Structure 1
Amino acid sequence: MRIISGYLKGKKILQPLDKTTRPLKDITKEAIFNIITHSNKFSVELDNSKVLDLFCGVGSFGVECLSRGAKYVTFVENYSKTLNILKQNIQNFKLKDKCEIITDNIFDESFLNNSTFKYEIIFLDPPYKENKVSQLLSNLFLKEILTDNGIIILHRHKKSVENFPLNFKILEEKIYGLSKVYFGILS
């Protein structure tokens, strides 16, 4: 896996050796950034944005955001084997001053209670078998951490059937190989 664009373009991202973590494929990642840049269904700027990367794994999405001009990324991961690789990637790319790592339980009600940021982009890439996505979206809505023009991007398996909360409005839905990507807002 590599960084596709920006000042870190072409650099390799360290990957886990075990199969517990599912890396975001380059083709899906590239398609997501093309939609962020060119969609007429929403308007979010990556330059100088703050990004929340939930279930971030080794950080490939957040690192890509930083490479393309994002101001700051909050990485959220709590699987220890993946967390160590995430830390190595951040160190290798000298990104410590542009990010933070949170290891809290994403589904805990107190998650992000002390957040000082509002985010332009929230990226969720939970395990395909994770069935509490609706609960997480509801919690994010209650936390009011998405900016007014912000976007939520959710990566799922193309055959998954989601029961989204009523306050999650899907603006765009795309399928890439085995992946389905939702672009939405909380209202």
Structure 2
Amino acid sequence: MRIIAGSLKRRSIKAPSGTDTRPTSDRLRESLFSILGADRVQGARVLDLFAGTGALGMEALSRGALSAVFVEQHPQALKVLYQNIENLGLEDRSRIIKWNIRKDLRCLRNEEPFDLIFMDPPYGRGLTAIALGHLKKGGLLTPASCIICEHTAEDPLPPEEEGFVREDLRTYGKTLLARLSFQNSKEEKH
């Protein structure tokens, strides 16, 4: 795996051994950032949920994002994530939080809303809808926030009446890549 573009172009990213972490492929990442465009990434505050290797957040930092918060709970993934951040010299623009997103996002309660949110949860566990609910409840979104969800058809997105609007949906084999916006910023932080 490698960084595709920006100041860290062609730099390597490590991935944990085994099948517990499913890194976003270079091809899919390239498509994702093409969909986003440079304007959406430049100067953005990024949240990378279910970060795994951190490839999505690090790609955003390479392309000009201001900062990134990486949230992950798996010990092997965390170890590799710390190594990747250090190897790429991104410590001053990154923060890593060990947290189980399934229960809540209290770990982010002192954060301002994020501009760009990446979510690539384990497939088939319903974690996409759970994490979106936590983002909404935690006051971590504004109408300007862009949310990118990598998921499968078995992990449906919440209905639009919950405030999330699907702006774009692409299919890559069994993987769906959805770009969402949030239209209800009246939720209060808890």
- TM-score of the pair, normalised by structure 2: 0.89
Query: What's the counterpart of residue 151 of structure 2?
Result: 156
Could you list the per-position Cα deviations for residues 10-53 of structure 1 after superposition, in whole angstroms to 9, with x for gaps in the alignment?
01101111111101011110001001018xxxxx6211110000
Could you list the per-position Cα deviations for residues 121-175 of structure 1 after superposition, in whole angstroms to 9, with x for gaps in the alignment?
1110000122132222122112121233111110013x43515142221111001
How far 1:112 sits from its partner (Å)?
A: 3.7
Any gaps of 5 or more consecutive residues in structure 2?
Answer: 184-190
The answer to whether 1:12 aligns with 2:8 is: no
The answer to whether 1:184 aligns with 2:184 is: no
CA distance in 1, matches of 2:19, 2:60: 25
Q: How many residues align?
A: 181
Any gaps of 5 or more consecutive residues in structure 1?
Answer: 39-43
Mean alpha-carbon deviation: is it higher for 177-186 or for 5-14?
177-186
Mean alpha-carbon deviation: is it higher for 79-88 or for 126-135?
126-135
Say which SS state the counterpart of residue 12 (structure 1) adopts.
coil
CA distance in 1, matches of 2:3, 2:72: 20
Say which SS state the counterpart of residue 31 (structure 1) adopts.
helix
The answer to whether the 8 A contact 1:121-1:146 is kept is no
Say which SS state the counterpart of residue 144 (structure 2) adopts.
strand
CA distance in 1, matches of 2:8, 2:142: 27
Identical aligned residues as a percent: 34
Say which SS state the counterpart of residue 143 (structure 2) adopts.
strand
**4+ long deviations beyond 6 Å:** none
Aligned partner (choices 143, 151, 176) of residue 138 of structure 2? 143
Query: What's the counterpart of residue 163 of structure 2?
Result: 167
Query: What's the counterpart of residue 27 of structure 2?
Result: 27
Mean alpha-carbon deviation: is it higher for 94-103 or for 132-141?
132-141
CA distance in 1, matches of 2:37, 2:157: 28
- TM-score of the pair, normalised by structure 1: 0.90
Alignment of 1:55-70 (within 5 A): 55-70=50-65
Query: What's the counterpart of residue 111 of structure 1?
Result: 106
Aligned partner (choices 79, 93, 103) of residue 84 of structure 1? 79
Q: Which amino acid aligns with 1:21?
A: T
Q: Which amino acid aligns with 1:134?
A: A
How far 1:73 sits from its partner (Å)?
A: 0.3
CA distance in 1, matches of 2:157, 2:146: 19
